[in-house]
Each structure stands twice: as C-alpha cells, then as structure tokens.
Amino acid sequence: MAADPVEYFDALETRNPAEREAALFAALVRQIAHAQSHAAYFAEILCDIDARDITSRAALATLPVTRKSEMTMQQRIAPPLGGLNATPLRDLRHVFQSPGPIHEPDGHGPDWWRTARAMFAAGFREGDLVYNTFSYHFTPAGMMMESGAHRLGCCVFPAGVGQTESQVQALANLQPSAYAGTPSFLKLLIERGEEMGMACSSISKALVSGEACPPALRAWLQDHGITARQMYGTADLGLIAYETAGGDGWVVDEGVLVEIVEPGGTEPMPEGEVGEVVVTVLGNSDYPLIRFGTGDLSAIVADSSHRASPCGRTNIRLKGWLGRADQATKVKGMFVHPGQVGDVVRRHAEIRAARLIVTGTVGADVMTLHCDVTREDEALAAAIRESMREVLRLRGEVRFVPAGSLPQDGKVIEDARSYD
C-alpha cells in the first residue's frame, strides 16, 4: 500500500535552496533598511552600514550580535522595548514579560509569531480543537500557539498551566484532538486521568516545546496514541525551527535567517559544528531583530544546505537544542567570556580548536587553555600565554592536546573547580 503523500504548509518549504537563499537576502536588505529608519536601537548600532551591501552570509557576519544582556540594558534605558521596536507602542497589540526581565511585543495581523507552520507539520488541521496548556500570563507562549492555531482554522481551548484535576475533567469533556504545551505536562495529564478514571485518550497529535522531549518520553506518548513533534522558538523571535515526520533534524522556519556562531562571539562556525543560534527575523516590520543571539547551542545538520529532509522540505536543519551558550565564568574575581577565548584563538593561526578549563578551588583558580594545534613548541605556548594575559587580563597555562581530542559540544569554557 502506497504511503500517504506529504503535505506542506506552503510552497516555500520545498523551494530550491539557491532560490531560498536569494529570497532571504533580498528580504534581509529590506529589513535592515527598515530597522535603520524606524528602530532607534538599530539606527545606532548599524549607523555605518549600507543595507544594500549585506547580500551574503559573509557580509551578514560583519554585523554586531545583540544578546539578551544588551536587550535588558536597553529596555532599562528606554522602556519598555529599548528602541528595538520599529512600530510605536500605541500601534502594537500586547507587551509581554519574560524572565530577565525582558519585554516582548505582539503586533497585529494573523500568526504574528509564525507558529502555524510548525503546527501544520505536527498534523494540526482546520477544524481541530487544540488544547493549549502554555501560559497566557505575563509570557507570550499561550498567544504564540493560539495565533498559529487560528491561522490554520483550529479552535483553541485556552487551558493555561496548573490545576491538573480541572484540566483532566476538561480534557475528558471536550475530547480535543490536538495538544500544545510541554511534553511532561501532557504525560502528567494522561496519568492523572487514568488515576481519576477519566479517559484523556482523544489527543492524537501534539506540538511540544519549552523543554526537552527525550526518546523515552516520546515513546511513552506514542504508546498512548500520540504523535509528538517538537517546536523551537523564543518569545523574542517566534518560530525558529520545527520537527517533521521525516526526522533528520529540525527544519528552519521560512521566515528567519539562522546562523551558528562561536559561543559568545560573532564569527560563524563551520557547518556541523556546535555553536550559538543567532537569528534574524525577516518580514516582521514591528520588531525587526537582526542577528539576535538566543543563547542556545545547536548545529546545522551536515550537508542539509544541499540535501533535503526525508519529508521533502529543503531548508537547512538544526540538530536540536544542545544546551546554553552563556559560559561566562568568574576567575580570580574577573569574568572570562567565551568571546574573549575566541579572540585569543584568532590571534594564532596554529590553533585549530581550544577549550579553557578552570580547575582548583574558588579563590585558588588555575586557568589552562587546552589547544589542538598544527605545531607544538615552547615559542607558540609562550605566545598564547601572552595573548591570554593581554585579552583576559589574567595569567593562564597552555596545554597542547592530541588532534581531534577536544569534545565537539560547543563548550568554550569548562568550570572544573571543586566547590566542596
């Protein structure tokens, strides 16, 4: 029996990669020009940039990365949005607050966060009743899912978080076919329903986010008749990437331009290597974030820029969420940042890879830069030690390690001190 044909949200998902890249950079030029003209923050940090010159990934990599720490500072200076918004506050629909605190806007128009694409890939269709357990309070998660569901023609039950027994009763009464929320809460609802003698067996598909969905939990949900797909997004950016039936990574959304850069830095990593996810939103005239550092670690699936997913979608794919990029570590009373380690490495062409490991005890720190190098001699070690002193303002040791022996996990600084 032939397999059912794959459905797509729109024709953008199966574009020729070269066609997509050209379209992304044409949109990028427009977005940069718009941000320079309408968002005070970007007018300042991009004041020397001619938007018409940013037509390649190499050119994009010359622009500054904005991270949450800068955003928080800007929002304190110019509340509530720090001048990153290109639409005046009076013309926005909502302002939300996430931990930090960081404020995020919501503009008018359907599916402002672009989550419908991920929901469609998870099997959500017109007429489905979506049981939405993401919070509607303070953070935008609940609204992010609701707006995407409405774009697809779904009805939404705004369950929100907590009140487990009441939620079980609602599930049993409403018999929804689709779920949006964290995977662990879905498991909890099903288990509590079994304890209460109230079947919660109507859900057959789920779009889950907000936490990891390990294989054991995914298998448990599948055993209960639920196919769960993961979505990766943030309150600032909306949808970034999503799972499909094809597997082989998370497909990047068509409305964003994703880079993987050195953790804490700005330089792109080679395809397949772990780094920080940096995202530029295209087509959002309200909140035109350009090179926004998510603080999350991931990697581009090797060769996915030339090889379609088994589901037929042709955009690049991420390896999933691999941890956090913020590895700033205090050594002898001073913070050392991953970007500074990158600066040391760039001073020496002989260094193929490096990892700063801090050992000892707090107050008696020992800082050693483990280096995978093309040559090993005392002259190079001395030069690297001098670069560490100049860049980090701290003295440290250098250790040469065998080629290829450093873990490829995106970690630049490892705190191995004893805290006993």
Q: What band does 1 get if pLDDT is binned at 50, 70 and 90?
A: very low
- The superfamily (CATH) of domain 328-413 is ANL, C-terminal domain (3.30.300.30)
Q: How do residues 342-400 score in pLDDT, each as one tens digit? A: 999 999 999 999 999 999 875 678 999 999 999 999 999 999 999 999 999 889 999 99
Any idea how long the chain is? 420
Q: What band does 75 get if pLDDT is binned at 50, 70 and 90?
A: very high
Q: How do residues 141-178 score in pLDDT, each as one tens digit? A: 999 999 999 999 999 999 998 899 999 999 999 999 99
Domain boundaries, given as residue ranges, for the chain = 328-413
**What global pTM score does this model have?**
0.84
